[in-house]
């Protein structure tokens, strides 16, 4: 095969692959749109279990906070209050400033904010919950990288350092302060969301027990929406060992809890 | 073409085939050598027959020969009811000889014990070596009843401290033991029992190193106290004097009627032995010396003897709650309690939620108390509830308070009433059922702005203990026009995020290093850059001397020099020959405004003149001169 012919064939092949991929993406997007429309229609007509099922399919494919919010709302209307709280918490983790998510979460679980508080000081708690972990990391990383780059520029222009003193005082120092404020928030998000294993009680009439068995005595009742800290301990399948308010420990059936 | 012909010639093919055969033979030999690997996996116990409290050492030995095997993890066997006191302690030995190859011995050892006589079977352990499973045989340990030991003259059974040494054990009999005091051997179901452990010591020197509580399953237990240090008091028991120390207190709450046997508290310690002749853990030297003779001089005993002090199992006979007189709404709460109700406010609107707090307080296993039922009410519906126990140890048992919170929503406006709440408990102290009751509470509710919620479905109507969901307050679903899937990947875990930091830090470091290098190689630049700092330092010294009472003519001379030197440093010139026209020219060339230059030069000349003024004549003038020169110079040097 001559070289021009080979190049033409390669070009056509790439074009065909691109068209196929674009077509596949369009088809996938259309199917998602159809699923979303179908789920919304089911919700609007009061067929909540069907809406839950369809929004769940959608959420499995697209981790969009709006999808999770709709799923939670459908679950709440279908009487699955615990599952709705769990979905709202997932949505809030992705979109913490969404007023709809916050309203519905506060309506379903009025005491949840106390359980999720990281500090007794209101501004700290508000700041922490107002941005996602990635947003805090972006603020911290952006400020620190910019401060370092400006610092490098400042040292590079050292022959006229006096003239650039405003850069140090007016820009670099505030950036360093912003980074110093934002990093603890970013790492706290990381700790609470990735390191610490937390769960929320989603089933009614959930009880804590003294051991990992239904024959063990009940030590407490766990209302729906209770946030517990799951202790990674091999206690047998179907059970979580956990701690909650006041440092108490107990065991709970894993099917009644969803990890956050 | 030539090389291709050589590669595929019959001779080359034969060579290639020979090489392949050789490689296969080598692999065969290697696999045969590996297959020759021998594995032995066995379990051992140091004593097949012991008495209660004696330590038993269980050892797993895995020996491999001729194979290099890593990550050997034998499974932990089922202990068959024995308590694990310590372990596993692991050790590895490796040797090599030319015949059998590499030999590895991997050892794991546990320390076990039993508090009751019986026949105990330790289950098999398994290990996977090279894909093959090896298993040990079950080991049987017989725990024979020890000769009955009783507290002197009382008949109360005791378990004396045990060591690995039979002679020491004999010497310790009746001299070092734990005694348990049970608050009630016949409790009711859900009634807590308090157990105190006291160490009794008859002149034995002891260092405590640890404590443990036996395996307690199926019964709620809680530690109430443990002694951080041993503090002895002297008591006389049955005519014999002991040093005693309160070591541990726990609460057990049985949940089922019938006999219950619970393994108790135990301590581990060391009987300290010194190298000094005649020094032994027993206060009376004769008895111990008779057993050991000169053993204390042996360096082997230098660290002391490990001792375990067990306690006898606790036997309880749990009584069921009486069926006679049991109220119909009784929910198994046992204790001596009081109930009181408080409301967060007595006035509000239909938009408000009211929080009713019920506080249950008293003696008993408060955490097991179930929430009182909120009764049917024509005025309020229940929208949520929670419970917070606040347990506290008391001198007469355990107790505390548990606060149940009920979130209530008014159904309509007007003078409403929160109904009385009844709660039945069983009081084990009077052995009677008691019904606690709160008083009804009146609340004034005005109409709110929001429309009243629709009536709840009957399944979630008020009166049921389950909170109802307020569907009408939920915001509506969002219309999904386009999806915005957010990355849930953690940025802090992203390599690119930290690489960016590293790159910026590297740039910063390079720039700083370059700056340092330039500073080293260019003293004139350093002089220019440091002109203001040096002036400030000189100014501080002048002010300090003035504050100490120095004459200002001298200070004026120093200020004159400092100002000229600062300008000279800024332009890399000598301060000595710098005249007013020079200063004017230099500053004007560097865009310093003319009026400021003139004023600065005037002030410098004024300072020079003040050197010759009478002492004390121009104090104020000089002070203002210092400040003005500093301000003007700072502006001029930074232009």
C-alpha distances out from residue A71 to A85, A87, A100, B19, B468, Å: 10, 7, 13, 66, 20
Residues B186 and B220 in one domain: yes
Q: Is the pLDDT of residue B5 over 50?
A: no
State the average pLDDT over residues B500-515.
93
State the average pLDDT over residues A63-76.
90
More confident position, B15 or A99? A99
Question: Which residue of B218, B470, B525 is in closest CB contact with A159?
Answer: B525
Task: Tell me phi and psi for residue B555, to 5 degrees.
Answer: -65, -35
Is residue B216 domain-resident?
yes
CA atoms within a 13 Å half-sphere pointing along the CA-CB vector of B53: 27
Which residues, including other chains, have CB under 8 Å from residue B565's CB and lie 6 or more apart?
A: B534, B535, B538, B575
Whether B536 has its CB under 8 Å from any CB of chain A: the answer is: no
Question: Which residue of B474, B478, B504 is in closest CB contact with A149?
Answer: B504
Under 8 Å CB pairs connecting chains A and B tally to: 170
**A contacts of B471 (beta carbons < 8 Å):** 76-77
Is residue B515 domain-resident?
no
- With an 8 Å Cβ cutoff, are B469 and A108 in contact? yes
Residue numbers of B between 238 and 257 with CB closer than 8 Å to A: 253, 255
The mean-pLDDT minimum among A34-48, A228-242, B240-254, B257-271 falls in A228-242
| Average confidence score pLDDT of chain B | 77
Beta bridge partners of B308: B162, B268
Residues B381 and B436 in one domain: yes
Distance from CA of B486 to the nearest CA of A (A): 6
Is residue B175 domain-resident?
yes
Q: Is the pLDDT of residue A114 over 70?
A: yes
What whole-number percentage of chain B has pLDDT above 70? 77
Residue with tokens 């590996």: B34
Residues B257 and B394 in one domain: no
3-state secondary structure of B574: coil
Whether A32 has its CB under 8 Å from any CB of chain B: the answer is: yes
Residues B350 and B410 in one domain: yes
Q: Is the pLDDT of residue B256 over 50?
A: yes
Residues B386 and B432 in one domain: yes
Whether B500 has its CB under 8 Å from any CB of chain A: the answer is: yes
At residue B486, the pLDDT reads 61
Report pLDDT digits (tens) over B347-391.
Answer: 888 877 888 999 998 888 887 788 888 888 888 887 777 777 776
Is residue B148 domain-resident?
no
At residue B451, the pLDDT reads 54
- Number of structural domains found in chain B: 4
More confident position, B386 or B596? B596
Confidence of residue B396 (pLDDT cuts 50, 70, 90): low
Q: Is the pLDDT of residue B224 over 60?
A: yes
Confidence of residue A235 (pLDDT cuts 50, 70, 90): low
Report pLDDT digits (tens) over A146-191.
Answer: 999 999 988 887 665 556 667 777 889 999 999 999 999 999 988 8
- With an 8 Å Cβ cutoff, are A133 and B491 in contact? yes
- With an 8 Å Cβ cutoff, are B508 and A149 in contact? yes
More confident position, B386 or B110? B110
Q: Is the pLDDT of residue B469 over 50?
A: no
**A contacts of B529 (beta carbons < 8 Å):** 161-162
**B contacts of A153 (beta carbons < 8 Å):** 511
Residues B215 and B187 in one domain: yes
Chain centroid, CA B114 distance in Å: 31
3-state secondary structure of B10: helix
Confidence of residue B613 (pLDDT cuts 50, 70, 90): low
Residue with tokens 């120092």: A173
Whether A222 has its CB under 8 Å from any CB of chain B: the answer is: no
Distance from CA of A105 to the nearest CA of B (A): 9
Whether A153 has its CB under 8 Å from any CB of chain B: the answer is: yes
Which of A61-70, B302-311, B545-554 has maximum average pLDDT?
A61-70
Interhelix angle B594-610/B552-570, rounded to 10 degrees, is 140
**B contacts of A66 (beta carbons < 8 Å):** 478, 480, 483-484
CATH number of the CATH domain containing B444: 2.60.40
User: Alpha-carbon distance A109 to A141, whole Å?
Assistant: 34
Judge whether B254 and B260 are in contact, CB under 8 Å. Answer: yes
Q: Is the pLDDT of residue B299 over 70?
A: no
Whether B490 has its CB under 8 Å from any CB of chain A: the answer is: yes
Beta bridge partners of A250: A242
At residue A259, the pLDDT reads 84
Q: Is the pLDDT of residue B301 over 50?
A: no
**A contacts of B492 (beta carbons < 8 Å):** 133, 137, 186-187, 190
At residue B458, the pLDDT reads 36
Q: Is the pLDDT of residue B340 over 50?
A: yes
**A contacts of B385 (beta carbons < 8 Å):** 223
Is residue B411 domain-resident?
yes
- With an 8 Å Cβ cutoff, are A94 and B486 in contact? yes
What is the domain extent for residue B244? 166-318
Which residues, including other chains, have CB under 8 Å from residue A125's CB and lie 6 or more apart?
A: A117, A118, A119
Whether B458 has its CB under 8 Å from any CB of chain A: the answer is: no
- With an 8 Å Cβ cutoff, are B484 and A65 in contact? yes
Which residues, including other chains, have CB under 8 Å from residue B26's CB and lie 6 or more apart?
A: none
At residue A230, the pLDDT reads 86
- With an 8 Å Cβ cutoff, are A63 and B485 in contact? yes
Whether A152 has its CB under 8 Å from any CB of chain B: the answer is: yes
Residues B357 and B284 in one domain: no
User: Which DSSP string corresponds to B166-201?
Assistant: HHHHHHHTTTEEEEEEES-SSPBTT--EEEEEEEEE
- With an 8 Å Cβ cutoff, are A223 and B466 in contact? no
Judge whether B269 and B307 are in contact, CB under 8 Å. Answer: yes
Residues B200 and B308 in one domain: yes
| B476-491 CB burial, b ≥16 within 10 A, e <16 | ebbebeebeeeeeebb
How many Cβ atoms sit within 10 Å of the Cβ of residue B29? 10
| Average confidence score pLDDT of chain A | 82
**B contacts of A155 (beta carbons < 8 Å):** 508, 511-512, 514-515
Is residue B496 domain-resident?
no
User: Alpha-carbon distance B634 to B308, whole Å?
Assistant: 79
3-state secondary structure of B589: helix
Report pLDDT digits (tens) over B257-292.
Answer: 888 888 778 888 888 765 444 445 555 444 444 333
Which of B59-63, B98-102, B206-210, B221-225 has maximum average pLDDT?
B59-63
CATH number of the CATH domain containing B581: 1.20.120
- With an 8 Å Cβ cutoff, are A64 and B485 in contact? yes
At residue B4, the pLDDT reads 43
Whether A142 has its CB under 8 Å from any CB of chain B: the answer is: no
Distance from CA of B357 to the nearest CA of A (A): 15
Whether A82 has its CB under 8 Å from any CB of chain B: the answer is: no
Interhelix angle A133-156/B495-521, rounded to 10 degrees, is 20
- With an 8 Å Cβ cutoff, are B497 and A141 in contact? yes
At residue A175, the pLDDT reads 93
More confident position, A52 or B297? A52
**A contacts of B637 (beta carbons < 8 Å):** 162
User: Which DSSP string corresponds to chain A?
Assistant: --HHHHHHHHHHHHHHHHHHHHHHHHHHHHHHHHHHHHHHHHHHTT-HHHHHHHHHHHHHH---HHHHHHHHHHHHHTT-HHHHHHHHHHHHHH-TT-HHHHHHHHHH-TTHHHHH-S-SSHHHHHHHHHS-HHHHHHHHHHHHHHHHHHHHHHHHTGGGTGGGHHIIIIIIHHHHHHHHHHHHHHHHHHIIIIIS-EEEE-STTEEEESSSSTTSPEEEEE-TT-EEEEE-----TTEEEEEEGGGEEEEEEGGGEEE-
CATH number of the CATH domain containing B291: 2.60.40.10
The alpha carbons of chain B give a radius of gyration, in whole angstroms, of 45
Whether B368 has its CB under 8 Å from any CB of chain A: the answer is: yes
State the average pLDDT over residues A188-211.
85
State the average pLDDT over residues A66-91.
91
- With an 8 Å Cβ cutoff, are B497 and A148 in contact? no
Beta bridge partners of B242: B235
Judge whether B245 and B230 are in contact, CB under 8 Å. Answer: yes
Flag whether the pTM goes above 0.90: no
3-state secondary structure of B357: strand
Q: Is the pLDDT of residue A26 over 60?
A: no
Whether A224 has its CB under 8 Å from any CB of chain B: the answer is: yes
Residues B345 and B438 in one domain: yes
Q: Is the pLDDT of residue A82 over 80?
A: yes
User: Alpha-carbon distance B300 to B470, whole Å?
Assistant: 75
- The ipTM, to two decimals, is 0.78
Residues B64 and B198 in one domain: no
At residue A239, the pLDDT reads 85
Residue with tokens 């014990």: B113
User: Which tokens go with B426?
Assistant: 């069983």
**B contacts of A77 (beta carbons < 8 Å):** 471, 474
Confidence of residue B113 (pLDDT cuts 50, 70, 90): confident
At residue B296, the pLDDT reads 37
- With an 8 Å Cβ cutoff, are B484 and A221 in contact? no
CA–CA–CA angle A174, A177, A183 (5° rounding): 135
- With an 8 Å Cβ cutoff, are B486 and A65 in contact? yes
Residues B311 and B361 in one domain: no
Distance from CA of B370 to the nearest CA of A (A): 8
The mean-pLDDT minimum among A200-204, B62-66, B440-444, B569-573 falls in B62-66
Report pLDDT digits (tens) over B116-155.
Answer: 788 888 888 888 777 778 888 888 888 887 666 666 656 6
At residue B488, the pLDDT reads 62
Query: Residue B58's closest CA among B85, B18, B37?
Result: B85
Residues B452 and B377 in one domain: yes
- With an 8 Å Cβ cutoff, are A221 and B387 in contact? yes
Question: Which residue of A100, A204, A217 is in closest CB contact with B478?
Answer: A100
User: Alpha-carbon distance B271 to B301, whole Å?
Assistant: 10
Question: Which residue of B485, B493, B514 is in closest CB contact with A62?
Answer: B485
Distance from CA of B511 to the nearest CA of A (A): 5
Beta bridge partners of B407: B355, B384
Report pLDDT digits (tens) over B405-433.
Answer: 888 888 888 888 898 898 999 999 888 89
Beta bridge partners of B317: B259
Q: Which of A30, A134, A185 to mutate to test the interface with B (most CBs of B within 10 A)?
A: A134
User: Which tokens go with A40?
Assistant: 């919304």
State the average pLDDT over residues B1-11.
51
More confident position, A169 or A210? A210
């Amino acid at each position: 095969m001559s070289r021009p012919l080979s190049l033409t064939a390669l070009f056509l092949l790439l074009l065909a692959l691109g068209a196929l991929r674009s077509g596949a993406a369009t088809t996938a997007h259309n199917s998602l749109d159809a699923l979303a429309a179908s789920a919304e229609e089911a919700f609007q007509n009061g067929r909540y279990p069907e809406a839950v099922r369809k929004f769940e399919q959608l959420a499995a494919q697209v981790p969009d906070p709006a999808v999770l919010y709709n799923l939670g709302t459908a679950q709440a209307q279908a009487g699955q209050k615990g599952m709705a709280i769990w979905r709202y918490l997932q949505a809030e983790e992705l979109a913490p400033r969404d007023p709809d998510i916050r309203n519905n979460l506060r309506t379903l679980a009025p005491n949840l904010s106390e359980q999720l508080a990281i500090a007794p000081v209101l501004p700290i708690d508000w700041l922490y919950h107002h941005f996602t972990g990635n947003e805090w990391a972006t603020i911290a990383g952006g400020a620190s990288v910019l401060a370092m780059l400006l610092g490098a520029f400042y040292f590079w222009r050292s022959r006229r350092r006096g003239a650039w003193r405003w850069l140090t005082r007016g820009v670099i120092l505030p950036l360093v302060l912003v980074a110093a404020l934002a990093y603890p928030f970013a790492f706290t998000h990381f700790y609470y969301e990735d390191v610490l294993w937390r769960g929320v009680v989603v089933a009614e009439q959930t009880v804590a027990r003294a051991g990992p068995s239904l024959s063990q005595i009940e030590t407490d009742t766990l209302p729906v929406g209770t946030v517990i800290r799951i202790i990674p301990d091999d206690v047998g399948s179907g059970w979580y060992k956990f701690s909650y308010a006041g440092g108490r420990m107990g065991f709970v059936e894993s099917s009644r809890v969803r990890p956050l | 073409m030539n090389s291709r012909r050589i590669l595929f010639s019959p001779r080359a093919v034969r060579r290639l085939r020979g090489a392949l055969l050789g490689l296969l033979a080598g692999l065969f030999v290697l696999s045969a050598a590996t297959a020759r690997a021998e594995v032995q996996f066995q379990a051992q116990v140091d004593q097949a027959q012991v008495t209660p409290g004696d330590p038993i050492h269980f050892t797993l030995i895995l020996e491999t020969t001729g194979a290099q095997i890593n990550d050997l993890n034998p499974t932990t066997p089922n202990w068959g009811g024995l308590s694990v006191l310590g372990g596993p302690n692991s050790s590895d030995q490796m040797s090599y000889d030319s015949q059998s190859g590499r030999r590895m011995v991997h050892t794991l050892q546990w320390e076990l014990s039993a508090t009751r006589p019986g026949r105990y079977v330790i289950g098999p352990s398994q290990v996977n070596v090279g894909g093959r499973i090896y298993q040990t045989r079950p080991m049987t340990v017989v725990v024979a009843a020890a000769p009955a030991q009783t507290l002197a003259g009382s008949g109360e059974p005791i378990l004396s401290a045990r060591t690995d040494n039979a002679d020491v054990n004999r010497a310790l009999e009746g001299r070092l033991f734990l005694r348990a005091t049970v608050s009630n051997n016949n409790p009711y179901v859900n009634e807590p029992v308090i157990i105190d452990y006291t160490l009794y010591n008859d002149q034995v020197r002891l260092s405590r190193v640890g404590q443990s509580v036996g395996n307690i399953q199926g019964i709620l237990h809680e530690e109430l106290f443990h002694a951080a240090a041993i503090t002895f008091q002297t008591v006389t028991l049955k005519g014999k004097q002991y040093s005693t120390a309160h070591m541990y207190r726990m609460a057990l709450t049985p949940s089922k009627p019938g006999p219950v046997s619970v393994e108790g508290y135990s301590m581990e310690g060391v009987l300290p032995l010194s190298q000094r002749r005649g020094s032994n853990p027993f206060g009376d030297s004769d008895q111990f010396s008779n057993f050991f003779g000169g053993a204390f001089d042996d360096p082997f005993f230098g660290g002391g003897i490990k001792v375990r002090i067990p306690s006898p199992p606790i036997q309880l006979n749990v009584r069921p709650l009486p069926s006679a007189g049991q109220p119909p709404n009784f929910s198994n709460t046992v204790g001596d309690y009081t109930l009181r109700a408080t409301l967060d406010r007595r006035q509000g609107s239909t938009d408000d939620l009211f929080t009713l707090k019920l506080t249950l307080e008293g003696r008993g296993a408060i955490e097991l108390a179930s929430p009182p039922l909120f009764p049917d009410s024509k005025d309020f519906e229940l929208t949520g509830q929670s419970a917070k126990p606040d347990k506290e140890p008391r001198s007469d048992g355990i107790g505390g308070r548990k606060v149940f919170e009920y979130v209530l929503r008014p159904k309509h406006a007007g003078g409403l009433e929160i109904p009385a709440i009844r709660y039945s408990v069983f009081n084990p102290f009077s052995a009677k059922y008691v019904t606690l009751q709160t008083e009804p509470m009146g609340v004034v509710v005005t109409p709110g702005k929001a429309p009243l919620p629709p009536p709840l479905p009957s399944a979630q109507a008020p009166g049921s203990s389950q909170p109802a969901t307020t569907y009408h307050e939920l915001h509506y679903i969002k219309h999904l026009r386009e999806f915005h899937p957010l990355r849930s990947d953690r940025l802090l875990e992203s390599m690119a995020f930290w690489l960016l930091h590293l790159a910026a830090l590297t740039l910063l470091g390079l720039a700083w290093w370059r700056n340092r290098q330039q500073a080293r190689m260019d003293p004139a630049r350093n002089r220019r850059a440091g002109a203001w700092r040096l002036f400030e330092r000189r100014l501080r010294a002048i002010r300090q001397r003035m504050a100490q009472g120095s004459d200002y003519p001298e200070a004026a001379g120093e200020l004159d020099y400092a100002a000229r030197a600062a300008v000279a440093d800024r332009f890399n010139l000598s301060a000595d020959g710098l005249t007013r026209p020079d200063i004017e020219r230099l500053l004007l060339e560097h865009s310093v405004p003319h009026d400021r230059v003139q004023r600065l030069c005037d002030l410098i000349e004024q300072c020079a003149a003040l050197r010759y003024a009478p002492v004390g004549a121009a104090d104020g003038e000089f002070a203002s001169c210092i400040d003005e020169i500093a301000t003007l110079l700072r502006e001029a040097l930074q232009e």
